C-alpha cells in the first residue's frame, strides 16, 4: 500500500535538532508531500537542501501553516507557545520538542517504545520528552518487568550539542583555541566547556534543582505513569560533542538480579547492551553518536542493597533524545486519522 503523502512543516529547521530531523525524514522515507521550513527572521531566505531538493527558509509566523498536516516544533518553548496553537488551528498536528506543553494534562508525553499507547486519533499535539529523561527511561523502563521501580538516583554527562548548534561550535572553537594557548570567552554556554565540566546551564529554582533536573524528575513520573516514583538527578555538562551519558542507581520494590536485568535490556526495542567487563567496554558517547539505539551497560548489582541495580547509559540526544523520537511519534500519528475531520 502506498502511504498517504503528508504536508510537513519544521519550525527551527536551521537548528541542531532541525537539521537532524531533515536527515531523518529522508532516511526513514517519511511520506512527505510538501516540506515547509521555518526559522527565526534572521534565517529568512536561507537555502537548505532536504529530501533531494533546495528549500527556502521562511520566518515562522502565525500565518505560515495553512495547508500543513504535520508540524514539528524545535525552536524553544517561547516559539512553541506562540505558534503551535496557530498550526493546530490551521488543521495540523504538532509534535513539539520544547518543554512548552509537556506537563499539560491531556498532552501525551511520549517515548514510543514505552508509552506509545498515549497517542490516539484525538491527539493534536504530542510532546517529546526532555532528552535526558528519554535516555534515562530508555535504560530503565525495560527493567519494570523485574519489579516496581521506586527510586532512581541519576547523574548526567551531557554533550554540548544538547544546548544547540552554537554550543557545539563553541566546544570545537574553544578546544582549538585552548590547544593554541589562546583564550576564548564563553558565549553560548555560561562557562568554558573545553577541558572543563559544569552544572547544567538551566535556571536553578528555590529548591536548588536546576530545570533540567526538575524535568527529568517530573517527566519520568508522567511517562511511566507513576506519581510515587522518586527521581533525584544531578545534571552536568561535559566537553562531549554529541550524545548524553547517564549513570543511574535504580531501586525496586523487591530483590532483583543482574542476569534478569541484562535479559530484559537485551530484548528491549531501541536498546543495545554494551557490557564487556573483560575488555572494559561500556556505553560511550563516541559509540552512541549518530546511532538510533540507546546503549546500556555496566549493569551491576548493588553491594549494599539487593533491591538496587546500577547502570551506565549513552544515547545520541539529537536523535533518540529529539529528532528520532519526534519522527517515531509522527509515524505513529499517521496511523490514526485525525478525529473530528481534518487529516
Residues in touch with ligand NAP (CB under 6 A)? 11-18, 39-40, 42-43, 60, 74-76, 79, 97-98, 131, 161-162, 164-166, 317-318, 321-322
Nearest CB to ligand NAP, comparing residues 77 and 266:
77
Task: Name the minimum Å distance from CB 173 to ligand NAP.
Answer: 15
Give me 22's grid cell.
531533515
DSSP secondary structure of 312-329: EEEE-TTIIIIIHHHHHH
Task: Name the minimum Å distance from CB 105 to ligand NAP.
Answer: 21
CB 24 within 8 A of CB 327: yes
Task: Name the minimum Å distance from CB 277 to ligand NAP.
Answer: 30
- Determine the 3-state secondary structure of 331 from DSSP: helix
Q: Which residue is nearest to ligand NAP (CB)?
A: 15
Nearest CB to ligand NAP, comparing residues 84 and 308:
84
Nearest CB to ligand NAP, comparing residues 43 and 124:
43
3-state secondary structure 130-158: CHHHHHHHHHHHHHHHCCCEEEEEEEEEE
CB atoms within 10 A of CB 105: 5
- Give Cβ neighbours of residue 139 (< 8 Å, ≥ 6 apart): 246, 248, 265, 271, 294, 296, 311, 313
Catalytic residue among 55, 86, 200, 244: 244
For residue 299, count CB atoms less than 10 angstroms from its CB and return exposed for 0-12, middle for 13-18, buried for 19 or more. Answer: buried
Active site residue 244: yes
DSSP secondary structure of 45-63: T-EEEETTEEEE-EE--TT
Task: Name the minimum Å distance from CB 79 to ligand NAP.
Answer: 4
The DSSP secondary-structure symbol of 4 reads P
Nearest CB to ligand NAP, comparing residues 203 and 341:
203
Task: Name the minimum Å distance from CB 227 to ligand NAP.
Answer: 24
CB 276 within 8 A of CB 284: no
Nearest CB to ligand NAP, comparing residues 296 and 322:
322
Nearest CB to ligand NAP, comparing residues 143 and 289:
289
For residue 85, count CB atoms less than 10 angstroms from its CB and return exposed for 0-12, middle for 13-18, buried for 19 or more. Answer: middle
Q: What gap in Å lies between CA 84 and CA 80, rounded to an integer?
A: 5
In total, the chain counts a number of residues equal to 343
Task: Name the minimum Å distance from CB 82 to ligand NAP.
Answer: 8
Active site residue 131: yes
Q: What gap in Å lies between CA 18 and CA 201, rounded to an integer?
A: 21
Task: Name the minimum Å distance from CB 38 to ligand NAP.
Answer: 6
Longest Cα–Cα distance in the chain: 63
Nearest CB to ligand NAP, comparing residues 74 and 156:
74
Catalytic residue among 86, 131, 200, 235: 131
Give catalytic residues, as residue numbers: 131, 244
Amino acid at each position: 500500500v502506498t502511504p498517504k503523502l503528508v504536508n510537513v512543516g519544521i519550525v527551527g529547521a536551521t537548528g541542531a535538532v532541525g537539521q537532524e530531523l531533515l536527515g531523518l525524514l529522508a532516511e526513514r522515507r517519511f511520506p512527505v508531500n510538501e516540506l515547509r521550513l521555518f526559522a527565526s527572521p534572521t534565517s529568512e531566505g536561507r537555502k537548505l537542501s532536504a529530501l533531494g531538493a533546495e528549500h527556502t527558509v521562511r520566518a515562522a509566523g502565525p500565518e505560515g501553516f495553512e495547508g500543513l498536516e504535520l508540524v514539528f516544533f524545535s525552536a524553544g518553548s517561547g516559539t512553541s507557545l506562540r505558534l503551535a496553537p496557530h498550526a493546530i488551528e490551521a488543521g495540523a498536528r504538532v509534535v513539539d520538542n520544547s518543554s512548552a506543553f509537556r506537563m499539560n494534562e491531556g498532552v501525551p508525553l511520549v517515548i514510543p517504545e514505552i508509552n506509545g499507547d498515549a497517542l490516539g486519533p484525538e491527539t493534536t499535539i504530542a510532546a517529546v520528552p526532555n532528552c535526558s529523561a528519554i535516555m534515562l527511561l530508555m535504560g530503565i523502563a525495560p527493567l519494570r518487568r523485574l519489579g516496581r521501580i521506586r527510586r532512581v538516583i541519576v547523574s548526567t554527562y551531557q554533550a554540548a550539542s544538547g544546548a544547540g548548534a552554537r554550543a557545539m561550535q563553541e566546544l570545537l572553537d574553544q578546544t582549538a583555541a585552548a590547544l593554541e594557548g589562546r583564550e576564548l570567552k564563553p558565549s553560548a554556554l555560561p562557562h568554558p566547556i573545553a577541558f572543563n565540566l559544569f552544572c547544567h546551564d538551566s535556571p536553578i529554582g528555590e529548591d536548588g534543582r536546576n530545570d533540567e533536573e526538575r524535568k527529568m524528575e517530573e517527566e519520568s513520573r508522567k511517562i511511566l505513569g507513576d506519581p510515587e516514583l522518586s527521581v533525584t538527578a544531578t545534571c552536568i555538562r561535559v566537553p562531549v560533542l554529541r550524545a548524553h551519558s547517564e549513570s543511574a542507581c535504580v531501586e525496586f520494590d523487591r530483590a532483583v538480579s543482574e542476569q534478569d536485568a541484562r535479559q530484559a535490556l537485551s530484548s528491549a526495542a531501541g536498546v543495545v547492551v554494551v557490557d564487556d567487563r573483560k575488555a572494559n567496554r561500556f556505553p560511550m558517547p563516541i559509540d552512541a553518536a549518530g546511532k538510533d539505539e540507546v546503549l546500556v551497560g555496566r549493569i551491576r548489582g548493588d553491594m549494599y542493597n539487593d533491591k538496587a541495580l546500577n547502570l551506565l547509559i549513552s544515547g545520541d540526544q539529537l536523535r533518540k533524545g529529539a529528532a528520532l523520537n519526534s519522527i517515531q511519534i509522527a509515524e505513529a500519528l499517521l496511523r490514526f486519522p485525525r478525529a473530528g475531520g481534518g487529516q
